[in-house]
Amino acid sequence: MDDIRGARSSARASTAVVLGAALLLAGCSSSGGDKNGDPGGRITQQPKAADPFWVNPDGTAARQLTAYTTSGDRTKAEQIRKIAEQPVGEWIGPDNPQDEARGFTEAARKSGRTALLVLYDIPHRDCGQYSQGGAADGDTYRAWIDGVARGIEDRSAIVILEPDAVLHLVDGCTPDRFHEERYDLLKGAIAKLKSLKNTKVYLDAGNAGWGHPDQIFPSLQQAGVDQADGFAVNVSNFYSTQDSIAYGKQLSSKVGGKHFVIDTSRNGNGPYTSGDPAQRWCNPPGRALGEAPTTRTADPLVDAYLWVKRPGESDGTCKGGPKAGQWWASYALALAEGSK
């Protein structure tokens, strides 16, 4: 049976590259049109009609692309470009949520796009494992959410809210004494973010391999999914788009027909089925990039395919990987080389 905590350990954005005028200027410089096959290190946006999400011209993959281009390694540069020119989730850090959210959303607006933000700071996060941490307490988390909201203001954003936060209430990973507070924090976060003019919120809802929708839908309801735009599935995981659609549709039927989004960042070859089942989610070999981010999906209930997990950033210190969220060039290359 697949590990029911398989959606965890996602990357967090580096605050050093999101603040100040440098990012905004970079956002302006790449606001041009569609992908044009520029052979240099420049990053361009995808066609807006199918992919309205902002591509960060200074993301980790973009910097790797520049390094390969500068060194003359065209083969590796061509592979990394597959990641660098796609929009990926920007994981808001704990220290400067207002500045980070403002930086990303202002850069996206200058490019005429929508920012994709991931909020991952719930107290008692990840049950003490690779991505443990989060806000010190409930009040700290509420203040952090307020900062994110002040940073977004009326600019266009899609927010993926708290990967694993609901799942870990269901699977027994989060102690019972924290449950009531977590539900309250999630409901409050949804209410705060939905008070913004142009922000859509999708609450994380696990993946196709952890269990059955019957096990999680009551907790999603208690966490306020009815007030959100929908839910997210397969975050940081590898289940196929087909399986994720099936799981999402079953879950949708139990939560009022809510729409959902799917993380397709690394699901091109489906889940890893060898080795220790408890570690299959963590930096599995032989995986590939999945469908590119788009709003043109295979089912009307699926609002978008998104790259929530940042391809090439580690799941944790397993299988030779660096710490969770750190860039791992060789793994990024393998994902790109394995894709169609």
91 assigned ligand-binding residue: yes
- Tokens representing residue 339 in the block: 């894709």
Would you name the residues annotated as active-site residues?
164, 315
Give the closest residue to 2 by CA, choosing from 259, 312, 284, 314.
284
Which distant-in-sequence residues (6+ apart) come within 8 Å of 273 by Cβ? 280
- Distance separating alpha carbons of residues 315 and 282, to the nearest angstrom: 5
237 assigned ligand-binding residue: yes
- Distance separating alpha carbons of residues 97 and 119, to the nearest angstrom: 10
Distances (CA, A) of 43 to 29, 113, 288, 291: 9, 15, 21, 19
Task: Report yes or no: 60 and 312 within 8 Å, Cβ to Cβ.
Answer: yes
The DSSP annotation for 166-198 comes to THHHHSS-S-GGGHHHHHHHHHHHHHHHHTSTT
Tell me the backbone φ, ψ of residue 152, rounded to 5 degrees. -75, -45
Task: Report yes or no: 170 and 219 within 8 Å, Cβ to Cβ.
Answer: yes
Distances (CA, A) of 297 to 115, 210, 294: 19, 23, 7
194 assigned ligand-binding residue: no
Specify the DSSP class assigned to residue 128. G
100 assigned ligand-binding residue: no
Beta bridge partners of 133: 125
Tell me the backbone φ, ψ of residue 185, rounded to 5 degrees. -65, -40
76 assigned ligand-binding residue: no
Which distant-in-sequence residues (6+ apart) come within 8 Å of 235 by Cβ? 7, 10, 160, 163, 164, 204, 207, 263, 308, 309
313 assigned ligand-binding residue: yes
> What angle is formed at CA 288 by the lines to CA 204 and CA 332, rounded to 5 degrees?
90
What residues are designated binding site? 91, 210, 237, 281, 309, 313
What residues are designated binding site for substrate? 91, 210, 237, 281, 309, 313
